[in-house]
Amino acid sequence: MAAVSIIGVALAKNVFQLHGAAADGAVVFRTKLSRLKFARFMADHPACEVAMEACPSTHHWARELSAHRHSVRLIAPPYVKPFLKRQKNDAADAEAIVEAALRPTMRKTQEQQARAVAFRTREQLVKQRTEAVKAKITALSNDAEMPRRLQTMPGVGPITRSDTPALLKGLLFGPDGAAFSPIHTRKGDRLCRYYVSQTILKHGAGSCPVGRFPAGEIEAAVTDQLRAVFRQPEIVAGTWKVARPCRRHHRGRHACGPADVLRQRRAAPQALLQSKARASNHFQKHGWPYPRCDRTEPWPRPTASSRL
């Protein structure tokens, strides 16, 4: 009978499967032992190499067998599985453990294990750093989401020609009969508005004796003239006569007097800007779908039912 060089042990709850093999891999014995008999068998057996699959209980048996001068080798289960020859059972597992343990490259040295631990630690640190960077990017993107959504609101986002108030649009004409169109440009943080002749826009500078002029100056002059005209009593009386049919038409709905007619005809640009500001604040606080901001009248006040 050949001397036993290696013993493969398939651990279980109560009964252990043992597979003894010689140095050349020849089978010497196969047996099943209980826990108590296994401890006695290994205590009486001459010192040899014992191979087991790595698991929490194998460390206890490795200490026990090392006390009896046995050399213990623990092999990871994924390295044992390729050596299974037939259906999985305790006998086949014990034989596969022996086959895996006989491979010269199966066991790693302490230096190789130390390097593997260093590599795994580095991979874990890189993974944690990547997670932290991604979390920071996500937080910054969430903070930037609100400005991007505000940019899509009419009158709050990028300023276009329709957003710049032009009180005299279509009412100014040059000496050649061409209409003046409102334009705007930015100088730093300041918005500059002008009126320029269509002749200059089509044929270039010098084609019209009147070039461009600031919109604020001409609008202020026209506004002062209108205020002076509207202060005249005959103008107010004439406006009241015109407004009386409107009042009869709206009877039972809303009162429509001279002041209301003048207010509707002179919608101030400040009211429009205040309306857009209220819509922007409402959107930032509540996140509700915002209505369009291209209206001149103020937004309706919230009621008790809307607050709920």
From residue 101, how far is each of 35, 38, 66, 177, 278 by CA, in Å? 23, 20, 17, 103, 77
Pick from 69-73, 136-140, 265-269 the range whose average pLDDT is largest: 69-73
pLDDT at 244: 67
For residues 137-142, give the mean pLDDT. 70
Q: How far apart are CA 273 and CA 269, in angstroms?
A: 6
For residues 91-106, give the mean pLDDT. 87
For residues 75-90, give the mean pLDDT. 86
pLDDT at 179: 84
pLDDT at 116: 82
For residues 49-59, give the mean pLDDT. 87
pLDDT surpassing 70 at residue 142? no
For residues 158-172, give the mean pLDDT. 66
pLDDT at 277: 65
% of the chain exceeding 70 in pLDDT = 68
pLDDT surpassing 80 at residue 23? yes
The residue with tokens 């013993």 is 7
pLDDT surpassing 50 at residue 308? no
Q: How far apart are CA 39 and CA 123, in angstroms?
A: 41
Q: Which of 65, 51, 55, 62 is nearest to 17 (CA)?
A: 51
**pLDDT tens-digit series, residues 196-206:** 888 888 877 77
pLDDT surpassing 50 at residue 138? yes
Q: Which amino acid is at 137?
A: I
Q: Which of 110, 90, 96 is nearest to 12 (CA)?
A: 90
pLDDT surpassing 50 at residue 307? no
For residues 284-304, give the mean pLDDT. 52
Q: Residue 210 carries which DSSP code?
A: S
Name the CA radius of gyration of the chain, rounded: 46
Mean per-residue pLDDT of the chain: 76
For residues 33-53, give the mean pLDDT. 91
pLDDT at 293: 46
pLDDT at 172: 79
Q: How far apart are CA 295 and CA 302, in angstroms?
A: 17
Q: Residue 267 carries which DSSP code?
A: -
Q: Which amino acid is at 47?
A: A
Fold for 6-107, please state it: Nucleotidyltransferase; domain 5 (3.30.420)
pLDDT surpassing 70 at residue 32? yes
* Domain ranges (residues) in the chain: 6-107, 158-219, 232-265, 267-308
pLDDT at 42: 92
**pLDDT tens-digit series, residues 224-266:** 888 887 777 777 777 777 766 655 555 544 445 555 545 554 5
More confident residue, 139 or 288: 139
Least confident of 70-79, 157-166, 184-193, 254-263: 254-263
pLDDT at 123: 93
For residues 268-295, give the mean pLDDT. 57
pLDDT surpassing 60 at residue 289? no
